[in-house]
A and B are shown apart, each in its own frame.
With several copies, the nearest count.
Chain A
Amino acid sequence: MKTEVTVANRTYIVEYESHGEGLKICIDDQAYTVDTNNFTDVFYSILIAGKSYDIVAAGKDDIYSVAVGGESFNVHFFDPRACLNREKHSQSALESHQLISAPMAGRIIRFKAQVGDLVTSNDGLVILEAMKMENEIKSRGIGVVKEIFAAEDDVVEPGQKLMIIE
């Protein structure tokens, strides 16, 4: 099986096949023979040429959350034919108008930018209070605020859209 995988904004070409109890895998040009052992739901013990690694992994469809040595990664699989196109499409969409959504649940303290405002990189957009803390959501690019979807004092859920910048 051959697929593309992204981890932390890097894309890798992955080829793999089952190999006894484990698997053979080639990531870009690096080949590994992996002995895997899954003892309880999400814990995997991995042996690669005798080296032992403890990995936690779970997910569904094409997205997996993996913890390796105290760090966690989101790993995305792509169908090389269909998905890449979809990805490209959504990226271009993102570039023409940028959607600001709440990264966490919280209460909106204040909008620092209003409809029509020109914002540039690092400009504050929204101040969100969560867990007794005021957090400022900043802009990473240039654009004009097109629409605001919430009001001050609103309690928002994670992922709820707050603002569109064009």
Chain B
Amino acid sequence: MFKKILIANRGEIAVRIIRTCRELGVQTVAVYSEADRGSLHVRYADEAYCIGPAPAVESYLDAEAILAVARSTHAEAIHPGYGFLSENAAFAKKCVEHDVVFIGPDSTVIENMGNKTVARQIMIHHGIPIIPGATDATEECADALKVAHDIGFPVMLKAASGGGGKGMRIVHSAEELTDAFLAVRREAYASFADSRIFVEKYFSTPRHIEVQVMADNHGNAVHLYERECSIQRRYQKVVEECPSVFVDDALRKRLTKTALHITTVVGYSGAGTVEFLVDQDKNHYFLEMNTRIQVEHSVTELVTGVDMVKEQLLVASGSPLSINQDQIKAVGAAIECRIYAEDPEADFLPAPGPLKKITFPEGPGVRIDSGVYSGWQVSRHYDPMIAKIATWGRDRNEARIRMLRALDECVIYGVKTNVKLHKQILTDQSFIDGNYSTKFIAERIDSLPQDDLFSHHLAIIGALCARLKTAETGQHSMDENMLQQHDSWRMSGKYQFWASRF
């Protein structure tokens, strides 16, 4: 095992990695931007070094700065977490050149899987089903139109280098195609410096189901069952489950077999995720392979008991996986809710600001992963995730009601959050029945429920308490910047394209 590693990330995933390192006795080196001096990952690491200003491109994406810290601290390996440099093949290659282990698969695997065209060609070559559509990306609208006519509308436009929902658009007719194509191309270029677009078959009620795999460099590859990730808002996962209620044993067998097949043929090493689109008839199509740890790995950990970061470190340090397929049992069910600082009244705009008070839920079956604390500011520079709350239950319904209980216990004061959205999702009959697709939020959760009058009365009573306390003590309990601003102008999320969600 390594003696010391560098974590090239921030927030909850950096803290998550540090936790396992502490358990393994591995020293940790954090890197941070100027905005993150007080960040939890800086506080929890053994060492911490500033690598540049707040914008990610000048810090968390600065490969040279990060490698310089690795060199000077004698870190033997770099864990990239998710996002930032985690799927950057050039960075993975550079690590190797600098004699630092990149905790992830080989750079050529990252490159192949990161390039949708190459990835699809590999899948086609090995007989793995992919979504009908172009296997070659194009920058030309005319090509796109031709493909669309071949496979039939509706079609999906997808930036070739995109990911995490950024640079995607559904087109229902030939008339809409040109405008949409140009918009996606512009966004794709702005975000990824790559204007190439895929055109592919669009499914009306698809499920997004992914299989977690792990492989070592000793010829072992295992799957850790599937995750159901269909609850999305604008192609961004909001709630994840393990296992999927939609997946029966036959489908599970096909999905995991396909995922392991892919893992083997691409020469994978470490933790990876094979994403599938599954249609109404339970046909599965390869979407992409994420060559890193996922945000939602915690539900898999809850159900299998496997510490995936530990396995990543074992594999990267040259050891075999500590588990074989027979030892990986899926017990019970787990659900994860991603808690974001965002304003539900303003179309879920990010709502950065001071986290004045946080109380996270406790008790049986609850797991918290956060990168924040009372007093910390959610920065406008990074992903506004506050915490991941995951619950485990003997069955899906126990996990679900436990999550509702956990969400009720959760107090986040100072910024607006999507906690109420999660409650709406978890109490929706379609969700309870497990009968939903990736359209769930768009179709079922269209408006916020009305406040009841009594909650207004309680708010008035609370305000009165605070006011009387101020009058009594002459002290304001908190400064005024905690007050949330309301604007009389609505903001729309139509142009929301996230680059930093996973």
Task: State yes or no: do A and B touch (Cβ within 8 Å).
Answer: yes
Interfacial residues, chain A to chain B (CB-CB below 8 A): 5, 7-8, 10, 12, 14, 16, 18, 23, 25, 27, 30, 32, 34, 36-48, 50-60, 63-75, 77, 94, 98, 100-101, 103-106, 122, 124-125, 127-128, 130-140, 158-159
> Total contacts A to B, CB within 8 angstroms?
250
12 example contacts (A-B, Cβ-Cβ < 8 A) are as follows: A39-B375, A43-B373, A52-B30, A52-B44, A52-B45, A58-B482, A68-B462, A71-B451, A73-B455, A100-B489, A103-B349, A135-B491
Do B416 and A74 touch across chains, with their CB atoms under 8 A apart?
no
Q: Cβ of A52 and Cβ of B48 under 8 Å apart? A: yes
Known contacts A25-B464, A69-B458; 15 additional CB pairs below 8 A are A7-B459, A12-B457, A41-B357, A43-B357, A56-B462, A57-B466, A58-B466, A59-B480, A66-B459, A72-B413, A72-B416, A104-B349, A135-B495, A136-B494, A136-B495
Could you tell me if B376 and A39 are in contact, using CB atoms closer than 8 angstroms?
yes
**Contact among B44, B408, B462 with A66 in the assembled complex (CB-CB below 8 Å):** B462
Residues on A with beta carbons closer than 8 Å to the beta carbon of B491? 103, 128, 135-138
Is B490 positioned at the interface, with any CB of A under 8 Å from its CB? yes
Interface contact B462-A132, CB-CB below 8 Å:
no
Q: Tell me whether A136 and B461 are in contact (CB under 8 A).
A: no
CA distance A137 to B187 in the complex (A): 18
Q: How far in angstroms is the closest Cβ of chain B from A36?
A: 5
Query: In the complex the two chains form, what is the Cα distance from A63 to B496 in whole Å?
Result: 31
Report Cα–Cα, A158/B357, bound state, in Å: 21
Most chain A CB atoms below 10 A, which of B43, B346, B352, B463: B463
Q: Within the assembled complex, what's the spacing in Å between the Cα atoms of A129 and B351? A: 13
Q: How far is the CA of A128 from the CA of B349 in the complex (A)?
A: 11
Q: In the complex, which residues of chain A have a beta carbon less than 8 angstroms from the beta carbon of B412?
A: 67
Chain A positions within 8 Å of B43 at CB level: 43, 45, 52, 54
Does A5 contact B469, Cβ atoms closer than 8 Å?
no
Alpha-carbon distance between A65 and B483 when the two chains are bound, in angstroms: 6
B483 contacts A52, CB within 8 Å? Answer: no
| Partner pick for A159 among B476, B482, B485, CB 8 A cutoff | B485
A36 close to B465 (CB less than 8 A): yes
Indicate which residue in B356, B384, B493 contacts A131 across the interface (CB closer than 8 Å).
B384
B423 at interface, CB cutoff 8 A: yes
**Chain B CB within 10 Å — which of A63, A130, A140 has the most?**
A130
Asked if residues B46 and A14 are in contact (CB atoms below 8 Å), the reply is no
Where chain A touches its partner, the secondary structure class is strand
**Is B175 close to A, CB under 8 A?**
no
Selected from B45, B463, B489, the residue in CB contact (under 8 A) with A64 is: B463
Q: How far is the CA of A43 from the CA of B460 in the complex (A)?
A: 14
Q: Which residues of chain A are within 8 angstroms of B30 by Cβ–Cβ distance?
A: 52
Whether the pair A134, B496 counts as a contact (CB closer than 8 A) is yes
Query: Once the chains bind, are A103 and B492 in contact (CB under 8 Å)?
Result: no
Among A37, A58, A103: residue with most chain B CB under 10 A: A58
Q: Which 3 A-B residue pairings sit nearest by Cβ, starting from the closest? A: A40-B375, A75-B463, A64-B463
Q: Is the CB of A34 within 8 A of B496?
A: no
Assess whether A55 is in contact with B407, with CB atoms less than 8 Å apart: no
Find out whether the CB atom of A42 lies under 8 angstroms from the CB atom of B466: yes
**Min distance, Cβ B472 to any Cβ of chain A, angstroms:** 10
Q: Indicate if the CB atoms of A130 and B352 lie closer than 8 Å.
A: yes
Q: How far is the CA of A34 from the CA of B30 in the complex (A)?
A: 17
The chain B residues found within 8 Å of chain A, CB to CB, are 29-30, 37-38, 42-49, 73, 187, 346, 349-352, 356-357, 373-376, 379-384, 407-408, 410-413, 416, 419-420, 423, 451, 455-470, 476-478, 480, 482-500
Partner of B380 from A51, A94, A131 at Cβ < 8 Å: A131
Report the minimum CB–CB distance from A39 to chain B (whole Å): 4
B413 touches A55 (CB 8 A): no
B88 to chain A, nearest CB (A): 16
B476 nearest CB across to chain A (Å): 4
* A27 partner residues in chain B, CB cutoff 8 A: 457, 460
Q: In the complex, which of the residues A39, A46, A103, A159 contacts B462, with contact meaning CB atoms closer than 8 Å? A: A46
Q: Contact between B462 and A64 (Cβ–Cβ < 8 Å)?
A: yes
Residues of B within 8 A of A32 (CB): 457, 461
CA separation between A12 and B460, bound complex, in Å? Answer: 9
Asked whether B374 lies within 8 Å of A40 as measured between CB atoms, the reply is yes
In the assembled complex, the Cα of A18 lies from the Cα of B441 at a distance in Å of 46
Please, which residues of chain B bring their CB within 8 A of the CB of A159? 485
Specify which chain A residues have a CB less than 8 angstroms from the CB of B357 in the assembled complex: 41-43, 56
- Asked if A60 contacts B470 (CB within 8 A), the reply is yes
Q: In the complex the two chains form, what is the Cα distance from A47 to B44 in whole Å?
A: 12
**Do A53 and B458 have beta carbons less than 8 Å apart?**
yes
Say whether B460 contacts A59, CB under 8 Å.
no
Q: Which B residues are CB-close (under 8 A) to A14? A: 460, 464
Contact: A46 with B495, CB < 8 Å? no
- Residues of chain A contacted by B464 (CB below 8 angstroms): 14, 16, 23, 25
CA distance in complex: A59, B480 (Å): 6
**Given A67-B411, A77-B467, A103-B487, are A41 and B456 also a contact pair (CB < 8 Å)?**
no
Which chain B residue lies CB-closest to A73? B459
Using CB atoms, name the residue of chain A closest to B481.
A158
- Contact between chains at A38 and B489 (CB < 8 Å): no
Residues of A with C-beta under 8 A to B496:
133-135
The smallest beta-carbon distance between B149 and chain A, in angstroms, is 30
Contact between chains at A10 and B498 (CB < 8 Å): no
User: What CA separation (Å) do A122 and B494 show in the bound complex?
Assistant: 11
Given A41-B477, A52-B43, A138-B491, A103–B420 Cβ distance below 8 Å?
A: no
- Decide if A101 touches B423 in the complex (CB within 8 Å): no
B447 to A: closest C-beta gap in Å: 15
In the complex formed, the residue of A with least CB distance to B29 is A50
- Decide: A139 near B73, CB < 8 A? Known: A52-B30, A59-B483, A131-B382: no
Q: Which residue among B45, B357, B487, B493 has the maximum number of chain A CB atoms within 10 Å of its CB?
A: B487
B410 with A104: CB separation less than 8 A: no
Q: A50 and B73 in contact (CB under 8 A), knowing A34-B461, A105-B352, A140-B490?
A: yes
- Distance (Å) between the CB of A133 and the closest chain B CB? 5
Chain B residues whose CB sits within 8 angstroms of the CB of A77 once the complex forms? 463, 467
Are A134 and B37 in contact (CB-based, < 8 A)? no
Check A69 against B380 for contact (C-beta < 8 Å).
no
Q: A103 and B375 in contact (CB under 8 A), knowing A52-B45, A68-B462, A70-B407?
A: no
